[in-house]
Amino acid sequence: MGEARRDDPPLMQHIVRCPGCGGDSVYAASNPSRPFCSQRCRNTDLGAWASEGYRVPAQPAAVDGEEGDPTAD
């Protein structure tokens, strides 16, 4: 069991764009860095997150007294 038979379909390999460098990347179990093309691109992306190079936009926090409890009137 576990052996590939002749009539088994080949494993699909999708080619995707690497989010790091924009080059081709194989999106398959054979690429441990997927969706990145290499460990270098993967580490570069991780470093950008760690240094807060990527940010999620958010509303500024309300200052005390601006938006208090509406039932407090």
Tell me the per-residue pLDDT of 19-29, one tens digit each, with 9 for 90 and over: 999 999 999 99
Asked whether the predicted pLDDT for residue 2 surpasses 90, the reply is no
Evaluate whether 19 touches 43 at the Cβ level (below 8 Å). no
Evaluate whether 41 touches 33 at the Cβ level (below 8 Å). yes
Query: Which two three-digit tokens encode residue 67?
Result: 């938006």
The domains of the chain are located at 12-53
CATH number of 12-53: 3.30.50.10
Evaluate whether 41 touches 24 at the Cβ level (below 8 Å). no
Evaluate whether 33 touches 24 at the Cβ level (below 8 Å). no
The pTM of this model reads 0.58
Asked whether the predicted pLDDT for residue 7 surpasses 60, the reply is no
